Amino acid sequence: MKKNLRIVSAAAAALLAVAPVAAGTVSTVSADSGLSARAANPSLYTLSAGITVNNAESINGGEPVDRLSFSVHLNGANTSVSTAGVTAPQDFEVYEANSNAVTITDGVAAVNSTAVPVKTLRANTDYIVVNRSVKFTGLTKGQLYNAVVNGGTTQVKATDDGTTAGLILTQAFRTSARAMMGAPYVYTRSDNRRAAAGSVGLVKGFYNVDAVVNAINAKYRVGVDTTGIADAANGTIRGEFTQLTQDVRDGLSKAVAINSDGTFAKPSAPITFPVNIKAGSNTDVFNVTVYPDAIDADFSFPRIRFAGDAAGVVHAGSGDVVNVDGEGFNYVALNGTVNVPLIMNRFSATMSETNGTAIPVKVDTSKVNTKVAGVYPVTVSATNAEGKTSSVVFYLTVGDAGATYTTVQADIDEVPVYNISGNVVTDTKTTVKNGTPVVTFGTVTVNGKSYTRINSADSTKFVETKYVDGSIKPVAATPKKIMHNSYIYDKDHKRVGTNTLAAYSTVNVYGTTTKLADGSLVYKIGDNQYVMADNIDGTARVLSHNAYVYKTSKKRADRRVLKKGATVVTYGSPYTFKNGKAYYRIGGPKKQYVKVANFK
């Protein structure tokens, strides 16, 4: 199944995203078109279509437009619209992207009545291809559908013959800047065609950074122009995504809050961001658009069935929540054991929609804490021979089935559980995850601090009251890289434990920088646990002399000479080398140091 190609350049993206419908345009919207610019209606089935530009990378300037090859394709449709298709005449027009010839509002495209299509193409230039008569087919007469087209969502109505009125479909693309030997490019795995930009959808409400990364990796690969070029130092050059997980996290975080475990709330609109690619020393970026809902109908995922569901209910993809009320495994006694064999007995799976071969299910109970009465998610999954995984979630209760639950709300991921005997408070080393519903039974105050009893009325287990009385506003975790080996301190600047956070490792911080009792600037990383901000953000210092960058006391890290007056970010306290001289760490992860004496 062909996939839609999205905006290829920043200029084209800006044009299609924000340009208003200009006066003197010819729009697809009319009284009888059945098309309206509205937000997606969750009660309607969704259709998606796009245009593929097959060979823009072969254009080097001076070629006629008919040298290009275009095709209109169905990106996907709701599985309940299995007969859906798309059709269009082979009448494509190409306009320069910066000419205001084409404008888009909420997915509805319009072409300026005075716009003139180009006839000859230039190299390294942004264009927009247009087809004015695209129709969805195989629909139900008179029914409304969400149509994901032109980077937005509109609503279309099926006519008496099960099609839609003609609508304008567009696609931005850029011609080649002349192929650079060894340059990276992205292509789709399904048909090995180059992709000017990418698009993936989120499956059934499962919103997670890893899910987006997996979707991109499943759909796209990075190739190299003039493949098989020999590199004396590194062998054959291969194309790759250089830091895909970080790029996805950074891109999504501009539109949604990312939790410490990589999850996020369902986006209200598509999110477009660049990801980095490389081949040898050549680098580039590839724009990816993430849609809040699935954009492809995929029948190749495993099918999971729960014996307690109504007949015919099948789960595919990720994100479905199963109601297990009344099942023998949905309640576990405090300090008891989850009945995994019974769970596996009640769930089953088959290879795919078209392959009924049975495959085993896996049960993940890692988030269940049987030491604390609460409500916890359990995931049941199945992976087929193609490596595709479907999963469902159900919620299991630990403790009294009739208890009243209070949700833990914290500015950290894990809340400590304490044992209190008289006026002695002891850390049990057990924690409760932020957001977990727990059973509470009144409060006690020890040494001026309030604690709330959990598990049972006579339990000796407590959490700090501030985490269950609603007084703390949850704060999303932000992953940051540690640039200098770091101790962990409490609020009084006393070291916590003996562990050291290693340089170049990643740690979750909560909120912005704060100060300890002695004024030290820190980041919060846990309950009364902090790390020095200078070990993460560094300090900007000005060089008073030209400076070399070293990796040891005798060897330089590279050929750079940092100039007098330049500002350099250093991390943490200085290191003293074997030669007795002090050095600041800069950058990484390769060893890079500059003499302290070279700074003002």
Residue by residue, DSSP assigns 258-282 as: PPTTSB-PPPSS-EEEEEEEEETTE
> With helix as H, strand as E and coil as C, how does 284-334 read?
EEEEEEEECCCCCCCCCCCEEEECCCCCCCCECCCCEECCCCCCCCCEECC
Q: Is the pTM for the entire model greater than 0.75?
A: no
Condensed to tens digits (0 to 9), the pLDDT of residues 379-428 reads 999 999 988 899 999 999 998 766 778 888 888 888 999 999 988 999 99
Cβ atoms of 129 and 173 closer than 8 Å: yes
- Report the SS3 class of residue 178: coil
pLDDT digits (tens, 9 = 90+) for 170-216: 998 888 765 455 678 888 876 677 787 888 888 665 788 988 998 89
Which element (helix H / strand E) includes 13?
helix 10-18
The pLDDT tens digits of the residues spanning 475-529 come to 777 888 898 989 999 989 999 888 889 888 888 888 888 899 899 999 998 888 9
pLDDT of residue 237: 67
Take residue 56 and report the two structure tokens written for it.
Answer: 């823009």
Instruction: Write the CA distances from 363 to 313, 379, 382, 416, 421, integer angstroms.
Output: 20, 6, 9, 26, 37
Judged against a pLDDT cut of 70, whether residue 41 lies above it is answered with no
CB 439 within 8 A of CB 454: yes
For 224-253, write each residue's pLDDT tens digit: 765 334 443 344 567 889 999 999 999 999
Q: How far is CA 581 from CA 553, 578, 597, in A?
A: 8, 8, 9
